[in-house]
Amino acid sequence: MGHQVFIVKGPENVAMLRKHPRTITTPGVTTFVLRTLFGMSRTAVDMYTSDESGIHVKARPHTSVKTHNRIDHLTHANFHKHLLGEGLGRIYQDFADSLLRRLPSLDIGTQWTYHGDLLDYWLPPMTSAMNEALAGPILECVNPTFADDLLEYYPYLHSLLKGVPRWIIPKAYKLQKSLLRDVATWHAIARARFQESDIDKTTGRDPWWGSAFMRERQKILGRVDGWDAHSIAASDFGIFWGSSVNIHPMALWTIIEVFKDKRLLCRVREELTNIRFRGIADEEDIAKLMTSPLLQSIYNELLRLRVEVQTIFSSGDEEIHLSNCRIPKGSLVVVPAGDAHKDPSVWNTRSGQYPLNHFWADRFLVYQGDPQSGPQKALGSDSDTARSCRHSHGEAKPKLALSGLADTFMPFGIGERTCPGRGFARREIIMFCALVTYRYDMEFLCDDQNFDTTQAYYGIGTQRPKGKIPFRIRLTQPDIKIHSTLP
CA distances from 361 to 356, 422, 453 (A): 12, 20, 18
Tell me the per-residue pLDDT of 274-284, one tens digit each, with 9 for 90 and over.
998 888 877 88
Instruction: Identify any residues that bridge with 355 across adjacent strands, giving them in sequence order.
Output: none
Q: Which helix (H) or strand (E) holds 366?
A: strand 365-366
199-203 contacts at long range (C-beta below 8 A, 24 or more positions apart): 202/487, 203/90, 203/486, 203/487
What pLDDT, on the 0 to 100 scale, is given for residue 481?
53
Q: Taking a C-beta distance cutoff of 8 angstroms, is the pair 11, 339 a contact?
A: no
CA-based R_g, the chain, Å: 23
Q: Taking a C-beta distance cutoff of 8 angstroms, is the pair 350, 384 a contact?
A: no
Q: How far is residue 310's CA from residue 101's CA, in Å, rounded to a whole number?
A: 36
pTM score of the predicted model: 0.92
Which residues have a Cβ under 8 Å from the Cβ of 102 and sit 6 or more positions away?
125, 128, 129
Q: Taking a C-beta distance cutoff of 8 angstroms, is the pair 217, 236 a contact?
A: yes
Q: How far is residue 128's CA from residue 295's CA, in Å, rounded to a whole number?
A: 25
| Chain length of the chain | 487
Tell me the per-residue pLDDT of 28-87, one tens digit each, with 9 for 90 and over.
778 889 999 999 999 999 998 888 888 889 998 888 999 999 999 999 999 999 998 889
- Helix, strand and coil content of the chain, in percent to the nearest 5, comes to 50, 10, 40
What pLDDT, on the 0 to 100 scale, is given for residue 382?
44
Q: What is the DSSP letter of 441?
A: E
What pLDDT, on the 0 to 100 scale, is given for residue 279?
81
Residue among 247, 222, 248, 223 nearest 233 (CA): 222
Q: What is the DSSP letter of 378?
A: P
Question: To the nearest 10°, the Cα dihedral for 378, 381, 387, 388?
Answer: -90
What pLDDT, on the 0 to 100 scale, is given for residue 22?
64
Q: Taking a C-beta distance cutoff of 8 angstroms, is the pair 141, 117 a contact?
A: no
Residue among 86, 105, 118, 314 nearest 204 (CA): 86
What pLDDT, on the 0 to 100 scale, is given for residue 478?
65
Q: How far is residue 110's CA from residue 106's CA, in Å, rounded to a whole number?
A: 13
What stretches in the chain show pLDDT beneath 70? 1-3, 21-27, 316-317, 379-396, 478-487
What pLDDT, on the 0 to 100 scale, is given for residue 41?
93
What pLDDT, on the 0 to 100 scale, is given for residue 255?
97
